Structure 1
Amino acid sequence: MNSLLAPGEPVTVHAPAGTVVGRGTGPVRRFLGIPYAEAPIGARRFAAPVRRGRFPEPYDASRHGATSQRVPLFATTTVPEPSVPGDDVLNLGVVAPAATDDRGPFPVLVWIHGGAFLAGSPASPWYDGRAFARDGVVCVTVGYRLGVDGFAVMDDVPTNLGLRDLLLALDWVRENVAAFGGDPDRVTVAGQSAGGAAVLALLSSPAGAGRFHRAVSVSGGFFAGSGGVGFLEQLGRRLGVPPTWAGFGGCSVERVQRAVLDLRDERADGRLVLGPVVGDDLLPVPVGDGLAAHGQGVPLLMGATGDEFDSGSSDAAEDRTEDSGEGAEEDPAARTAARAAGTRLTDTLFRAACPRAAAARRDAAAGTWLYSFEWPSPALGGAAHCVDLPFFFDVLDAPGVTEALGPNPPADLATAMHADLAGFVHGREPSWERAAGVLGDPAREYGRPGAAPVADTTGVFDPVVRTRPEAAETC
């Protein structure tokens, strides 16, 4: 096979799921919007996902598929998150190296997007796997049901439908990725924010066994919720329907999502309104307990940004992506109070989850490694939530990066971070020491001002009061 493809050149694979036709450019092949399950509409809207049948004709995979997100989490988000119309929201994209005859089979990275389990898009250009393909990794991005459709608790509706979607997607990968040059026995599941929390949930679940072999949680946490039972009653009153599958099923997904986000903004208390729930067959026990019982043979790489939500914005809510202009006209006292609230959220939801996960997996033979991303974006006033993503994906030229990171983000930092993540996916053990969830745990630090782009250190996740310079409070 020629290792370089003309821009837009059709490329075809013959997989167990059927014939799939994508597009190639240079050293990369892209197969986008491939349905792995039947469209969750009608009677299937609040049902467990149903495996997609074999395609009867060649499937055109030249463009991104429909997204579960109909309404973005905020008017302006750090990560560009396009909404794509359509019913086939349970789809995935595959970005693979063009040449497979001499280097494959390749390890596989399965990426789960964030968005507070309410929004987000696998079609984001920040999740383009071209750098992974360049480095001999098949990158798969997955769409799953969100909000009420994915995580509400209702009578006669299976719980954790969004997680069930992800499990079925992993089954599809196991059965089909070899046709794209991937190795089904070397699958790393990874995600950021809500996606990182989903990774921890899958790792802690008995249902995750055998479906993946390594795990990466980027700014994830133990975000298990209650299924929003009280919240659903409020939502039903707002929509004028009973809080049941029949009531919500009579409303469009867009109308329900818009009402959820409106109610969430009105509450403004930072609590997760919908997310994975504990007590069913997938998550029989809380995630922390599950991590101690399951996935002990799966290596885990986990970390957080230094600031997450305390980088200058006045809004502190789980998975809040920052508007780079927000908060500019607030008075200093309001900024200080908001910063303190953001620091509490950063520490309790995100950073504290890292030593907690390491402690739960202290006896895991596979090991846990921690990192902290410390590079302060000049556009956002700190090492904010989501700004590490273009570095890990090595896509500093992607749309929206300049707005979030400023005009000159350090390319050497992206090279180093991407190399660490790609090496982990390839099966290499990280070069720094394992963590055990104790004071003084080792960790890798990325981008701390005044230090080398990458430095090994200890104690960055110890529970101490952290202070930030006043300069970081400007947006």
Structure 2
Amino acid sequence: MTDTTTAVHAEAVTTKGAVRGFWRGDPGAAEASAAFLGIPFAKAPVGALRFAAPEPVDPWEGVRDALEYGATAQRGDPGVTLIPEPSVPGESTLNVNVFTPAPGDADAALPVLVWIHGGGYFAGSPASPWYDGRAFNRDRVVTVSVGYRLGFVGFGHVEGAPENRGVRDWIAALEWVQENIRAFGGDPGRVTIAGQSAGGGAVLTLLGMPKAQHLFHGVWALSGATADVTPERARTLSAKIANSLGIPPTRAAFEAVDEDRLIEAQKAASDVRDMSALVEEGLGLGPAIDGDLIVRPTSDSLRAGVGADKPLVLGATDDEFSMALAGQEKKLRWIPLGLLLGKLGLAGPRRRRYLAANRDAVARGHAAVLGRLITDRMFKTAVVRTAEARGDAPTWVYRYAYAGSPFGSAVHCIDVPFWFDCLDSEVGIPALVGPNPPRALAEATHGAAVAFIRDGAAEWPAWSERPGAGRVFGGAASRPDVDPDAYAGVRPLL
């Protein structure tokens, strides 16, 4: 990040007051970009506001510094992602970071990207250097990254408190964008929401919410993991956490528990050591069906036509969770493959069809097959079901096949630095994408994102017009760029 003590400052005026950011590069230069960090879009969610819906921030006088990342809801390092996502201490966690090539130019009317970070709905940070919008700014796209409440505070059921507080934070941030993005050179009528993993699930959840439709105009979901937690499951988890704390499951009781104790209780109650349970039941903390914001499972809303006017791009990596089995290859090779797959609910003729459709994973051994199956059950089948639920609504599908990671496969998160075109980042790149990631792949991936954000359409055939068709990013040179049946490998599971 630029040394803000010597950088040239930039200013913009929001509805709550003026903010001071800083330029990276000379103002007016072709690739110059201004950053405004930690701008609050709601009051700090502490005290009586801890389990409340987000409340508008109070106006301020003078010019407020936006020179450093604001506080994050993530505390410490949960160690759940290969993306560098630092925790920033503090209480005012409901803030946005804005990156723009045209600060203060209300007439620029540039397309806008709003990024919602992942992390399983309990971790992650908008302050990642990978989420810096510099490359998108270079391509004339204003970029916003969003902070929101995580874990039980953001998504747990609390008697006497509004449900889906984290979802309400997303909505409040998008409302802030609608009201303020012109001051940063953006067009509130051209907003694309995007995210990866839980962030991908977040944008799909918003796409299926009738009350959010006016806040965005396109969606890109990378490895989207929706939760759609049932009311019964939400209440059960709440009771489990309350019981471990020795309190009733009420708002007043939870408000009296300090942050560290609540996080530890949340971890203990939601720790899923049985991978088969995670595959079958999904995440226990996340957007929940509440009868208000989320009235039914996201796929049902999409099938009913909610969000049908919004263009959607979605996809997954080939082997999202193979890395979870890293180091177990020698152990697993001695266990019959049929037994291993049976524990994950795959047996009989369906198992034979699945293995035939995934010969590349079979050739790499039992651990690779298990990782592929977990990936397919949790992510890739959801891509197909979502695309099919959308019917004729404009939908484009892709697969990410680049296997240059140290894990030897296209693992979870590997597409993110290519999507943001941040391969030159000083943090974390080799550990995820290997020592020599292909620049051409970053240009293709990022270029596809820019084209969609700018034009509202992807550059390859739409699934909605040619069912099954999808673009393959980073595949072998012998493979076509567009595969007429990109998700053939998951057909036996559907």
TM-score (norm 1): 0.88
Shift of 1:463: 4.9
Q: Per-residue deviation at 1:229? A: 2.2
Counterparts in 2 of 1:337 and 1:155: CA distance versus 1, 3 Å:
farther
CA distance in 2, matches of 1:303, 1:349: 12
- Asked if structure 1 preserves the Cα contact closer than 8 Å seen for 2:43 and 2:55, the reply is yes
Q: How far 1:424 moved relative to its partner?
A: 0.6
**Which stretch shifts more, 232-241 or 134-143?**
232-241
Structure-1 residue corresponding to 2:352 = none
Q: Does 1:94 align with 2:94?
A: no
Which of 484, 487, 490 aligns to 1:458? It is 484
- Does 2:415 correspond to 1:403? no
Q: Is the 8 A contact 1:377 1:384 kept in 2?
A: no
Larger helix percent: 2
When residues 397 and 262 of structure 1 are mapped into structure 2, their CA distance, relative to the original with a 3 A threshold, is: farther
Q: Which residue of 1 aligns with 2:324?
A: 313
Describe the shift of the 1:369–1:55 C-alpha distance in structure 2 as closer, same or farther (beyond 3 A).
same
Counterpart for residue 289 of structure 1: 300
Shift of 1:11: 1.1
In the alignment, structure 1 residue 68 sits paired with structure 2 residue 77:
no
1:152 aligns with 2:163: no
Give, in angstroms, the shift of residue 135 of structure 1: 0.4
Residue 457 of structure 1 aligns with an amino acid whose one-letter code is D
**Counterpart selection for 2:283 from 249, 262, 272:** 272
Mean Cα displacement is larger for which, 113-122 or 350-359? 350-359
Decide which of 246, 250, 258 is 1:244's aligned counterpart: 250
Larger Rg: 2
The answer to whether the aligner puts 1:375 opposite 2:407 as a matched pair is: no
Aligned position for 1:304: 316
DSSP-derived class of the 1:228 partner: helix
* Cα distance in structure 2, aligned partners of 1:225 and 1:338: 29
Measure how far apart 1:249 and its partner are: 1.8
Aligned partner letter, 1:28: S
- Distance in 2, matches of 1:19 and 1:101, equals 14
Shift of 1:326: 5.8
> Which among 31, 36, 42 is matched to residue 41 of structure 2?
36
Listed one character per residue, the Cα deviations across residues 264-313 of structure 1 (whole Å, up to 9, x for unaligned) are 3354432412011114211112101111331111100111111111x243
**Matched residues in 2 for 1:23 and 1:337: separation?**
51
Query: In 2, distance between residues paired with 1:172 and 1:444?
Result: 34
Q: Distance in 1 between matches of 2:271 and 2:290?
A: 28
Does structure 1 residue 350 correspond to structure 2 residue 379? yes
Residue 205 of structure 2 is aligned to residue 201 of structure 1: yes
Mapped to 2, the partners of 1:303 and 1:445 lie a distance apart of 10
Matches of 1:330 and 1:401 in 2, distance apart?
Answer: 29
2:267 equivalent in structure 1: 261
Q: After TM superposition, give the deviation of residue 457 of structure 1 in Å.
A: 1.4
In the alignment, structure 2 segments of 5+ residues that lack a partner are 26-31, 341-364
Q: Would the aligned equivalents of 1:28 and 1:95 in 2 still touch at CA under 8 Å?
A: yes
1:70 Cα shift? 1.1
Conserved? CA contact 1:6–1:25, under 8 Å: no
Counterparts of 1:162 and 1:60, CA distance in 2:
26
Q: Are the counterparts in 2 of residues 72 and 120 from structure 1 also a CA contact under 8 Å?
A: no
Does the 8 A contact of 1:189 with 1:214 survive in 2? Answer: yes
1:18 is matched with 17
Return the match for 1:434 from 458, 462, 465.
462
Whole-angstrom distance in 2 between the partners of 1:360 and 1:266 = 29
Q: 1:435 to 1:445 in 2, by over 3 A?
A: same
Secondary structure of the residue aligned to 2:324 is: coil
The 3-state SS of whatever aligns with 1:352 is helix
Partner Cα separation in structure 2 for residue 326 and residue 33 of structure 1: 40
Offset of residue 240 of structure 1: 3.0
Partner Cα distance (2:430, 2:391) in 1: 40
Deviation string 1:315-355 (CA, Å, 9 cap, x unpaired) is: xxxxxxxxxx7658856447966544433321122111112
Tell me, in whole angstroms, the C-alpha distance in 2 between the residues paired with 1:156 and 1:148: 14
* Equivalence for 1:320: none
Q: Tell me the residue number matched to 2:353.
A: none
* Structure 1 residues 19 and 341, CA gap change in structure 2 (3 angstroms): same
User: Which residue identity is paired with 2:62?
Assistant: E
Q: Is residue 139 of structure 1 aligned with residue 143 of structure 2?
A: yes
Match of 2:415 in 1: 388
**How far has the Cα of 1:98 moved from its partner?**
4.6
Q: How many percent identity over aligned positions?
A: 41
CA distance in 2, matches of 1:109, 1:98: 14
CA contact (8 A) 2:405 2:414 kept: no
How far off is 1:18 after superposition?
Answer: 1.0
Counterpart residue number, 1:321: none
Distance 1:326 1:103 in 2: 55
Asked whether 1:233 is paired with 2:245, we answer no
Cα separation, 1, equivalents of 2:56 and 2:181: 16
In structure 2, what is the equivalent of residue 473 of structure 1? none
1:46 corresponds to which of 51, 72, 77: 51
Contact residue 6 and residue 24 of structure 1 kept, 8 A: no
* Pairing partner for 1:362 from 391, 396, 399: 391
TM-score between both structures, scaled by the size of structure 2: 0.85
Equivalent AA in structure 2 for residue 80 of structure 1 = P
Q: Which runs of 5+ in 1 are unaligned?
A: 315-324, 467-475
Distance 1:341 1:437 in 2: 33
Distance in 2 between the 1:253 and 1:329 partners? 41
